[in-house]
Chains A and B, each alone.
Chain A
Amino acid sequence: MPADLAIDVHDLTKVFAKGNVRALDGLSFSTPAGTVLGVLGPNGAGKTTAVRILSTVLVPDGGRASILGLDVVRDAAAVRRTIGLAGQYAAVDENLSGRQNLTMIGRLSHMGRTASRRRTEELLEQFGLTHAANRSLKTYSGGMRRRLDLAAALVAEPPVLFFDEPTTGLDPQTRQDMWAWTERLVREGTTVLLTTQYLEEADRLADQVVVVDHGRAIAEGTPASLKADLGTTVLLVTLEHEEDGQRAAALLAPLGSHPPSVDGSRIEMNVENGAKAGSEAIRTLDGQGIGVIGLVLREPSLDDVFLQLTGHRPEDEPAPAGPGAPQPTRAGVAQ
């Protein structure tokens, strides 16, 4: 296998006997050291299953995966000395203080007593938790808890980090902080695998993005190339009369990178230059006597990526809406 890959995943499959769910169905991706890989997908796409396999918590049914050349099944013990895990499923101990939690993780990572204490103080300082270090986690806010969770992943200074939906449900400020910390870690040479439901997050942090649906990679590339495929802006026009739909779509088609989709009186399309396309759309429709009652321009969301790549919208359970998440304007998409 190429020696410079930090994470290398080949054809992973995993079926959960309970419910006979095929969580992973031939998932492959890889990322070089010192980069951020964004794994983008809706709830139930298999992102967490992939992270659990990479962190040796689950054993795959088929395929293989390695971290810095270490096989996640054969060299599981060595992989555990190489990785850090943070995010929705990696918890901390509620009954201990922040300081006690970090020291415990240090000791369990087989650091010496002094080293784990020193590292604990460093991290408390870095994440602004020094003032609350001796308080029980029960008194921590959601944002403080996530910061501690991230700190816990960094205790042993692992070269590879897995962040499983690190900002789902976070307030915008902590979300921004989280992004800044991740960028800093990567500058220092760490490799980060980040799963997310938010295109915005992948766009901001990831060097490479893998889009996952039904346990399989359906697209891979830089955020820029994915967005280029999509068009940069979504133009949404609501017509006065539903019967004008098809005619209006045909008139607007030249403005977009792909043919518009029509849903009753609503027309949706991806365009390169939002402002220009918007004013042109109004002019065109007006010129043809087609009444417009609404026009919205917005950044493409994960839904748009999906619509584009698969022709269907993410059809799993509704995603928990993060406060900073892109707000889709289409009703009934991510309710």
Chain B
Amino acid sequence: MSVGVLDAAARRHDPTTLERARWLVRDSLTIAWRFLAAMVRSPESIAFSAVQPMLLVLMFRYVFGGAISGIHGSYVNYLMPGIFVQTVAFGSVVSAVGMAEDLQKGIIERFRALPMARAAVVGGRSLSDITRNGFSVLLMAALGFAVGFRVQTSALGFLAGLGLLLLFSWAIGWGFALLGLTVGDPEIAQLATFPVLLPFTFASSAFVPVSRMPGWLQAFAKNQPVSEVVNGCRALMSGGPTARPVLIALAWSLGLVAVFAPLAVRRYVRTD
């Protein structure tokens, strides 16, 4: 039986950079399809993941809305970009939990033994997260419009704001995927995301102006990525000086991808 051996030379051939790029895209799409197909199979998961952000909109609008003052214009206009960012940040917990679960259940072991692109397992998941987060944000926006949210700029500004949001969700998805791969246990992964998420989302400009916080907290709250992305989205949706906050938000998101994507992929391909 030397048939297989003759094949060896053919099998050994190294794909070109272009072929690699094509496989990376195709394999990432296949992995993204994996999660979206699973979501479609489980309508309850769609329903519940839709309910939470909608409840958040209603609660913040009506529970806190009356108590929070010192904001120029209406609170709902101030709030919505903040709640968008908070929702996509919390939505990225799925990346941490899911990666840990895949690792624990052994499906990552199978992927590692397949000829697929190495970055696609994490990359495909973050692609599906963008889709899911986009769906949540659109639902919230629709509800927001019903309870008084108005875009002060333009449709284009609104869409650009959504783009900024989803870019940010993609960026932290890589970070959380790294967390999930490192922790390796879905429950611990979930618990581990909260100490990160809570300070970043609440000690931020998402729900109240940073100027109301004590001085020591302001230093953190003003200069952390969630605030910067909220400020960027707010500028795009509600007006005011735009270029600077948007650029800072973009820089944070791309910076996070540049740091976490290679780390997550390296962690995934780890062979020791």
Residues of A bordering B, CB below 8 Å: 3-4, 6, 17, 32-34, 52, 55-59, 68-70, 75, 77-78, 80-83, 85, 89-97, 100, 104-105, 107-110, 136, 152, 159-160, 189, 191
Contacts and interface: CB of A to CB of B under 8 A. Distances in A.
A92 B38 CA distance: 13
Given A104-B30, A108-B27, A94 B105 contact: yes
Given A32-B1, A75-B12, A82-B11, A91 B110 contact: yes
B8 interface: yes
B271 A85 contact: no
Contacts of B44: none
B107 A92 contact: yes
B41 A56 contact: no
Contacts of B38: 93, 95-96
Interface residues of B, number: 37
Given A78-B8, A136-B41, A107 B109 contact: no
Contact of A90 (B7, B15, B26, B110): B110
B34 A110 contact: no
A34 B37 contact: no
Contacts of A81: 11, 115
B116 A110 contact: yes
A6 B3 CA distance: 10
22 contacts: A4-B5, A32-B1, A33-B5, A56-B112, A56-B113, A56-B271, A58-B271, A68-B4, A80-B113, A80-B114, A82-B4, A85-B109, A89-B106, A89-B109, A91-B107, A95-B38, A96-B41, A108-B30, A108-B120, A109-B115, A109-B116, A136-B41
B2 A3 contact: yes
A58 B113 CA distance: 10
A151 to B, nearest CB: 12
B82 to A, nearest CB: 32
A180 B144 CA distance: 61
A91 B105 contact: yes
A115 to B, nearest CB: 14
Contacts of A91: 105-107, 109-110
Nearest to A91: B106
A58, A69, A96 pick with most chain B CB within 10 angstroms = A69
A3 B112 contact: no
Interface in B1-59: 1-5, 7-8, 11-15, 23, 26-27, 30-31, 33-34, 37-38, 41-42
A77 B115 contact: yes
Contacts of B115: 77, 80-81, 108-110
A3, A52, A95, A159 pick with most chain B CB within 10 angstroms = A95
A3 B5 CA distance: 7
4 residue pairs, one from A and one from B, having the closest CB atoms: A33-B1, A95-B38, A91-B106, A55-B113
Given A136-B41, A159-B4, 18 more contacts: A3-B5, A4-B5, A33-B1, A33-B3, A57-B109, A58-B272, A68-B11, A75-B11, A77-B14, A78-B13, A80-B114, A85-B109, A91-B110, A94-B105, A104-B30, A107-B27, A108-B31, A191-B4
A123 to B, nearest CB: 15
B11 A70 contact: yes
Interface in B200-240: none
Contact of A57 (B13, B33, B112): B112
A85 B7 contact: no
Contacts of A34: 1
A53 B14 CA distance: 21
Contacts of B109: 52, 57, 85, 89-91
A83 B109 CA distance: 13
A93 B38 CA distance: 9
A78 B34 contact: no
A6 to B, nearest CB: 7
B111 interface: yes
Contacts of B2: 3-4, 33
Given A56-B113, A93-B38, A108-B30, A4 B107 contact: no
Contact of A189 (B1, B105, B120): B1
B107 A93 contact: yes
Nearest to A83: B113
A108 B116 contact: yes
A6 B109 CA distance: 22
Nearest to A76: B271
Nearest to A189: B1
A94 B34 CA distance: 11
Contacts of B30: 104, 107-108
A17 B272 CA distance: 9
A32 B120 CA distance: 34
A85 B108 CA distance: 12
A104 B34 contact: yes
Contact of B111 (A96, A107, A108): A108
A197 to B, nearest CB: 19
Nearest to A190: B4
A80 B269 CA distance: 14
Contacts of B15: 77
Contacts of B4: 6, 33, 68, 82, 159-160, 191
Contact of A68 (B7, B26, B112, B272): B7
Nearest to B30: A107
Contact of B23 (A55, A80, A93, A110): A110
